[in-house]
Chains A and B, each alone.
Chain A
Amino acid sequence: MLELQNVARHFGGIKAVDGIDLTVHQGEILGLIGPNGSGKSTTVNLIAGLYKPTSGRVRFLQEDVTELQPHERAERGMARTFQNIRLFSQLSVWQNLWAARVVRESGWAGLRARWFASAAQGREQAEQMLEFCGLQGKRDLLAGNLAFGEQRRLELARAAISGAPLLLLDEPAAGMNAEEIDDLDQRIRTLRSQGRTILLIEHHMELVMGVSDRVVVLNFGRKIAEGLPHEVQQDPQVQAAYLGADEDDELAQTALRA
């Protein structure tokens, strides 16, 4: 479904991403992990189109999308969430969902649907998604006034409402408590059962290892390991990356083994 071919991204002298090959298969949940600064967020931004790669190609659904703008990639079926929540805080909950509803009709009907659809219609369409993310009854609240956990759910819903076959989730669990993370785990599985493909960037080891089909590990902008979760956890290179050369770091060790 998604392929990165030798993708690199340099910022001045810094090689944030240094030649990565990545494949995401249809219907899978791929976890992307790595220590801070390893290039995970840059990779997501490259996939989503916010950055253009310094070299390499991005292929999505058999099409080379490297030159496409973010909204064009969204039209083709990519959606994402952000590490720092980027909701439209002055718009209401349902307006946030409505704004993101990518319209696939073309011609006059499409034009009407895309730009001139009425608010009443929008509210209807948002209802289903509101149920999915547990925000029924909050439809008319301003997004900026929601609690943190609710905002995260709204972000996820906004990505999902477009019906995009590929979802890029950028650290969706950051700042969540255990209960919220369980809910998130459930929702990711539900999305996958709907036939979606998910690329999950996360620091939260339990979540990633628990929900992913495969895991890819980055360090210093390169891929250092790839495989099933338990394989990756045993990989000495991965352990070294997270722990440095110091094997006495109990916290990290425990997390990796979880």
Chain B
Amino acid sequence: MDFYIGLMQVIGVHTLLGLSAWCVLHTGQVSLAQGGFFAIGAYGAGMLTAMAGWPLGGALAAAALLSGLVAVTVGFPALRVKGLMLVVATTAFAEIVRLVFFNLKWQVQTPQGPVGPDGGLGFGGIRYFPAHAWSGLEVLALIWSLVAAVMLTLWWLDRSRVGTLWRAVGEDEVAAQSAGINLTIAKVSAFGIGGVIAGLAGGLFSHNTTHIEHGNFTILLATFAIAYPILGGLKSLAGTLVAVVFIQGLLIEGLRFLGDWRSLLFGALILAVMLVRPGGVLAAPLQWPTNRRKPASGTAVPQERTGHA
């Protein structure tokens, strides 16, 4: 039972991570920075509760806001570039964050001994939950109520003009700006909101695991973050959730049956899903890969005519 509670907790945290990527992907930007904001939230919230004695709510909020702020600051220059360059820029940012935390040594004395990030050794002793006697179920409830709140907020945003403008920017930036949409505001707002959500996820993560270290926040985590919405289908929020359940369920539960092979099979699974359902699992109807599809780099003339840029 505890195992499943733990699994559900992880699924909840990763759903938030996936949702943060969903925001950014909606405006057509591929960001591998979500892992970096996750890390900022994780270390930030952990430091606030373990080292400064803050209550959990305040720490989570502060850490999430900090991540959002960093996202907006990084977003302004980074979002001037597109495509591959943005991928690399966000990757570089995430790596800088990871390396900063790798090198960060800052401890305070507490009755339990020194507490704080210790460079490569990580940051242990984030013991808010045990110290306040939270049960596994209570933690679970907290995580999932936050997931629900975020999903509701994003759903509302998507239904309002924000969602339409985000998608318009994601579709065709030239047309969008010619139609009067301020690209910078659209892109930075999505990036910032994504940062806040990722920071929140990070704060929950560090408290849940009580010990974090730089190796938790690699580029691989960032690829997971974008994998969830992409595999789940960008049109729907639920798709992201389904993808997380499926993937994390497979990875963690699969440990039992597949042992060490689970990561390899996960990679193969991603490949397979992209071949069969390139729009994501909850998107278009089934498409088999066949020769009738045009070779991937040519644009046939009819497509040009309908102008999908």
Contacts and interface: CB of A to CB of B under 8 A. Distances in A.
Interface of A: 48, 50, 69-71, 74-75, 79-80, 82, 84-91, 95-96, 98-100, 102, 114-119, 122, 144, 148, 151, 158-159, 162, 175
A144 B171 CA distance: 11
A88 B167 contact: yes
Given A71-B180, A71-B182, A89-B171, A119 B308 contact: no
A175 B305 CA distance: 9
8 contacts: A71-B183, A84-B307, A88-B175, A91-B171, A98-B161, A98-B164, A115-B161, A117-B160
Given A86-B174, A148-B305, A175-B305, A162 B161 contact: no
Contact of B181 (A71, A116, A148): A71
Contact of A158 (B164, B179, B306, B308): B179
B160 A115 contact: yes
Between A69, A90, A116, the greatest number of chain B beta carbons within 10 A of the residue's beta carbon is seen for A90
A91 B169 CA distance: 11
A118 B157 CA distance: 9
A86 B306 contact: no
Nearest to A90: B171
Contacts of B176: 88, 99
A87 B176 CA distance: 9
Contact of B171 (A70, A71, A88, A159): A88
B168 A99 contact: yes
B165 A50 contact: no
Contacts of A118: 159-161
B240 to A, nearest CB: 17
Contacts of B183: 71
A114 B306 contact: no
Interface of B: 159-162, 164-165, 167-168, 171-172, 174-183, 304-309
Contacts of B159: 118-119
Contacts of A79: 178-180
Given A86-B175, A88-B175, A119-B164, 14 more contacts: A69-B182, A70-B178, A71-B177, A84-B304, A87-B172, A87-B175, A90-B167, A95-B167, A99-B176, A102-B180, A115-B160, A115-B161, A151-B307, A162-B180
Given A90-B171, A144-B308, A122 B177 contact: no
B304 to A, nearest CB: 7
Contact of B308 (A75, A89, A102, A162): A89
Contacts of A116: 160-162
Nearest to A81: B178
Nearest to B302: A148
Given A84-B304, A88-B172, A90-B171, A122 B164 contact: yes
Nearest to A121: B161
A239 to B, nearest CB: 31
A117 B161 contact: yes
A84 B309 contact: yes
B168 A74 contact: no
A98 B180 CA distance: 11
B161 A114 contact: yes
A170 to B, nearest CB: 10
A162 B179 CA distance: 8
Contacts of B160: 115-119
Given A88-B168, A117-B161, A118-B159, A50 B306 contact: no
Contacts of B306: 85, 89, 144, 148, 151
Contact of A87 (B164, B165, B167, B307): B307
Contacts of B164: 91, 95, 98-99, 119, 122
Contact of B161 (A87, A96, A122, A148): A122
B168 to A, nearest CB: 4
Nearest to A118: B160
Nearest to B179: A100
A74 B179 contact: yes
Between A75, A86, A95, the greatest number of chain B beta carbons within 10 A of the residue's beta carbon is seen for A86
Contacts of A70: 177-178
B181 A99 contact: yes
Between B162, B307, B309, the greatest number of chain A beta carbons within 10 A of the residue's beta carbon is seen for B307
Contacts of A159: 179
A157 B56 CA distance: 52
Contacts of B162: 115-116
A108 to B, nearest CB: 15
Contacts of A158: 179
Closest 3 CB pairs of A and B: A74-B180, A85-B307, A100-B179
Nearest to A78: B178
